[in-house]
């Protein structure tokens, strides 16, 4: 196991003096996958992406200078995610890709739990446990939902519940990647999600998504999960993170 870097003077889960930076001190490498964790900061207690989504992306022009395509190089896990989301592959191949991504995600969360277990128990008098994995509701309905598939396998590996019912999307929203202004993104998400009052009282929950872009959706969901759902701690994990916030 690769030890996470500890930041002193950072308040994580209400425990002063330690904190998880969201990064390993070195790139994590095993025979299946190579990832470099990317810290995600927000109104949650802890957050990380397994890696950036792309390494580079440059336009391809036609003879009159119009962009006709993009030459994109993805990270290893970014490519796996892209194939899961957009390629109509054989079910067995898709399941193998999901397994690879979920294995990396499970290792990161297991390291997190082991890092804070002793200190958390001393402070609160009970073991640090993640109550459930909550996948971010999809922006559009599809026959195959990659975030749910990944979250399901992650929850199985961690031996914790997958919760598809507690968090509800109650309002349709525009594609946020098309909204450049941060305030407009926030406005578009107002009233988009709901949760039963107190349903997660004093629970530690893990929000899971495939791609972190601006963080607007995760910020809105974290707020309602904490303020109305009454969760104790919200953890955020995404497969990849864009190089820009658009």
Using CB atoms within 10 Å of the CB of residue 58, give its burial: 0 to 12 exposed, 13 to 18 middle, 19+ buried. Answer: exposed
* CATH code of the domain in which 168 resides: 3.40.50
Total count of domains within the chain: 1
Report pLDDT digits (tens) over 135-166. Answer: 999 877 788 899 999 999 999 999 999 999 99
Q: How far apart are CA 245 and CA 216, in angstroms?
A: 10
Q: What mean pLDDT, rounded, does the chain reach?
A: 84
Here the tokens at position 157 are: 């590996």
Q: What's the whole-model pTM score?
A: 0.85
Sign of CA dihedral 117, 121, 127, 130: negative
150 within 8 A of 162, measured Cβ to Cβ:
no
- Per-residue pLDDT, averaged over 19-46, amounts to 68
In a domain, 246, yes or no: no
Range of the domain at 17: 4-241
Look at residue 38 in the predicted model and tell me its pLDDT. Answer: 94
By percentage, how much of the chain surpasses pLDDT 90? 54
Q: Given pLDDT bands bounded at 50, 70 and 90, which one contains residue 19?
A: very low
Rounded CA gap, 13 and 234, in Å? 9
Q: Residue 181: its pLDDT value, please?
A: 62
Q: Is residue 203 part of a domain?
A: yes
Work out whether the CA dihedral 40, 239, 209, 115 comes out positive or negative: negative
First to last CA, the chain: 34
Place of tokens 């998400």: 189
Distance CA 21, CA 40 (A): 9
Question: Is residue 147 a part of any domain in this protein?
Answer: yes
236 occurs within a structural domain: yes
- Residue-wise pLDDT for 176-233, tens only, equals 666 666 677 777 788 889 999 999 999 999 999 999 998 999 999 999 999 999 999 9
The candidate with the shortest Cα–Cα distance to 67, out of 58, 75, 78, 56, is 58
Q: Which residue's entry shows tokens 């303020």? A: 227
Q: Evaluate whether 230 touches 198 at the Cβ level (below 8 Å).
A: yes
201 within a domain of the structure (yes/no): yes
State the pLDDT at residue 11.
Answer: 47
Per-residue pLDDT, averaged over 58-73, amounts to 85
Please, what is the angle between helix 91-124 and helix 76-86, to 10°? Answer: 120
Residue 75 in domain: yes
The confidence score (pLDDT) of residue 15 equals 53
Work out the angle between the directed axes of helices 91-124 and 146-158 (0-180°, nearest 10): 50
Q: What pLDDT is recorded for position 44?
A: 95
The residues facing 208 across adjacent strands are: 135, 237
Q: Is residue 181 included in any domain, yes or no?
A: yes
Domain contains 120: yes
Number of helices (H), then strands (E), in the chain: 5, 14
Give the mean pLDDT of 13-35: 52
Buried b (16+ CB within 10 A) or exposed e, 201-226: eebbbbbbbbbbbbbbbbbbbbbbbb
- For helices 146-158 and 76-86, give the axis angle rounded to 10 degrees: 120
């Amino acid at each position: 196991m690769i030890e996470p870097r500890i930041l002193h003077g950072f308040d994580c889960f209400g425990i002063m003096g330690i904190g998880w930076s969201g990064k390993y001190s070195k790139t994590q490498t095993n025979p299946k996958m190579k990832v470099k964790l990317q810290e995600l900061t927000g109104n949650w207690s802890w957050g990380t992406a397994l890696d950036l989504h792309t390494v580079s992306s440059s336009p391809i022009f036609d003879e009159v200078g119009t962009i006709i395509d993009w030459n994109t190089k993805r990270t290893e896990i970014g490519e796996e995610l892209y194939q899961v989301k957009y390629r109509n592959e054989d079910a067995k191949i898709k399941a193998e890709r999901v397994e690879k991504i979920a294995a990396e995600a499970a290792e990161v969360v297991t390291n997190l739990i082991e890092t804070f277990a002793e200190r958390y128990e001393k402070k609160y008098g009970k073991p640090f446990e993640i109550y459930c994995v909550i996948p971010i509701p999809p922006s559009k309905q599809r026959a195959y939902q990659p975030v749910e598939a990944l979250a399901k396998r992650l929850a199985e590996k961690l031996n914790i519940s997958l919760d598809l019912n507690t968090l509800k999307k109650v309002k349709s929203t525009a594609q946020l990647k098309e909204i450049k202004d941060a305030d407009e993104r926030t406005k578009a998400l107002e009233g988009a999600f709901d949760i039963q009052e107190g349903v997660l009282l004093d629970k530690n929950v893990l929000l899971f998504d495939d791609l972190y872009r601006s963080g607007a959706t995760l910020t809105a969901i974290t707020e309602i999960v904490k303020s109305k759902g009454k969760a104790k701690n919200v953890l955020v994990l995404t497969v990849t993170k864009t190089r820009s916030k658009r």
